[in-house]
Amino acid sequence: MNITRENIDALNAVVKVDIAKDDYADKVNTVLSDYRKNANIPGFRKGHVPMGLVKKQYGKAVLVDEVNKLLQDALNKYLTEEKLDVLGNPLPKPQDDLNWDADEFSFEFELGLAPEFDVKVKSKKAITHYNIEATDKMIDDQIENIANQYGKLIAKDTVEKGDEVTGRFFSEENEIDKSTTFSLDKIKGKKNTDAFLGAKVDDVLTLKTKGLFDETHSLVSYVGVNAEEADKLNVEVTFTITEINQREGADLDQDLFDKLFGKDVVKSVTELKAKLKEDAEKQFAQQSDQKLLNDVTENLIENTKFELPADFLKKWIQTSGENPLSEDEASEEYEKSEKGLRYQLIEGKIITDNNLQVTFDEIKEGTKEMVKGQMAQFGQLNPSEEELDNIAARVLGNQDEIKRINEQMLSKKLIEFYKENANLKVKKISYDDFIKEVYS
């Protein structure tokens, strides 16, 4: 067997594989001998069918099958040994005149090669990294909500100022269907407040989402819309009242603190505020990090210039799916996927050049931490290593879970890498202002 490569240009090559009879003859004869032992052909005893008859009936199919196996194995081995970074899969060049009665065969494959390029993570223009702070008002509102949540409910017939209303926001057209409970104090504007005051159970109110609540995150929580849409959403919804209650807040004492966080974790209202602020800002940090990852990704795609073997990739897209595509359809698919492919290559180079790969041991330890956190939510604070190992082993028995956890951990590594190496400017901002600035 002989394999040669002709580089058409920096992004395209053709590999030629020459296969001689000596490369496949022994394997074909072995397979045909097995066929002969097991063949059931009328007029002959099993195992005594003439080899000539077996070759006549099965020889061509076995030859084609074995040559194709040999071809694929040889091609894969060649690509690995030559360390060729190919895009898509090798495409066989059409051979309408291939003669399977010959002793020697030649096959050619088109290759699309990954480009060589440099990545500059530190851009000229600084990228904003948001430090989202929990405001005093947000914390005070959360404390009020906690006191109300653990306080007493007094059922009422008619909505009055300060009451708590339970009901269902609905808009079929805008795919809104959210059952929720909120204090009337959360409603913004006299017109909206007046719509509630005096209303009774089973009344249906018609409201506009724009300016309905005093804060953007309230619209996200109570109406169930996406954070990206909340600030600009202006649609009509109905709200059907199912309950009206006056809530008497619980005392902010040690019993309540212990119920919320465990014994003596929080011992005063000051410590309660600090704890709530810390927990809120941990959640905000996740949103900030995701925003940073998105922004750095966009920046890298825009500023890392390289060519792709576009014609090859379009041809590959045409034939790689379950159903062949036309040239126009393949071109359209390529346009849709080009940006993602570019970042895939950029991200792969960053990971390789900076040794950011996630090891299986890291995946295992990350899984154990995840399991430990989930167990803590149910009061199991000190699981044994054996318990964690057993549960992690079950989780990692699922390949989809391994892939998901690997992607999560890789994203964390990339975010930390970008924080250390990208040109960032930190901006302190409230959550509401973050939503307005990022999604408006």
CATH classification at residue 203: 3.10.50.30
- With respect to residue 253, please indicate whether it lies within any of the assigned structural domains: no
DSSP state of 186: G
Which of 63, 82, 113 finishes a domain?
113
Spatial contact of 17 and 107, defined as CB atoms under 8 Å apart: yes
Spatial contact of 139 and 225, defined as CB atoms under 8 Å apart: no
173 shares its domain with 314: no
The pLDDT assigned to 92 comes to 92
Give the total number of structural domains in the chain: 3
168 shares its domain with 97: no
Q: Is the dihedral of CA 312, 314, 315, 316 positive or negative?
A: positive
Q: How far is CA 134 from CA 265, 283, 436, in A?
A: 21, 10, 15
* C-alpha distance across the termini of the chain, in Å: 63
Which of 60, 92, 113 finishes a domain?
113
The pLDDT assigned to 131 comes to 96
239 shares its domain with 293: no
Query: In this structure, what is the dihedral angle of CA atoms 21, 23, 29, 35, given to the nearest 10 degrees?
Result: -120
In this structure, the strands spanning 236-248 and 164-171 are antiparallel
Residue span of the structural domain in which 214 resides: 152-248
pLDDT tens, residue order, the chain (440 aa): 999 999 999 999 999 999 999 999 999 999 888 888 877 777 777 777 788 888 888 889 999 999 999 999 999 999 999 999 999 999 999 888 888 889 999 999 999 999 999 999 999 999 999 999 999 999 999 998 899 889 888 999 999 998 999 999 999 988 899 999 998 989 999 999 999 999 999 999 999 998 898 887 888 889 988 877 777 888 999 999 999 999 888 999 999 998 888 888 899 999 999 999 999 999 999 999 999 999 999 999 999 999 999 999 999 999 888 888 999 999 999 999 999 999 999 999 999 999 999 999 999 999 998 888 888 777 777 888 888 889 989 999 999 999 999 999 999 999 999 999 999 999 999 998 999 888 86
Helices (H) and strands (E) in the chain, counts: 14, 11
238 shares its domain with 299: no
For residue 415, what is the domain's CATH number? 1.10.3120
- With respect to residue 437, please indicate whether it lies within any of the assigned structural domains: no
- With respect to residue 195, please indicate whether it lies within any of the assigned structural domains: yes
173 shares its domain with 81: no
- With respect to residue 403, please indicate whether it lies within any of the assigned structural domains: yes
Spatial contact of 36 and 47, defined as CB atoms under 8 Å apart: yes
- With respect to residue 141, please indicate whether it lies within any of the assigned structural domains: no
Q: Is the dihedral of CA 297, 299, 304, 305 positive or negative?
A: positive
- With respect to residue 66, please indicate whether it lies within any of the assigned structural domains: yes
302 shares its domain with 195: no
The pLDDT assigned to 58 comes to 85
- With respect to residue 15, please indicate whether it lies within any of the assigned structural domains: yes
283 shares its domain with 242: no
180 shares its domain with 85: no
- With respect to residue 144, please indicate whether it lies within any of the assigned structural domains: no
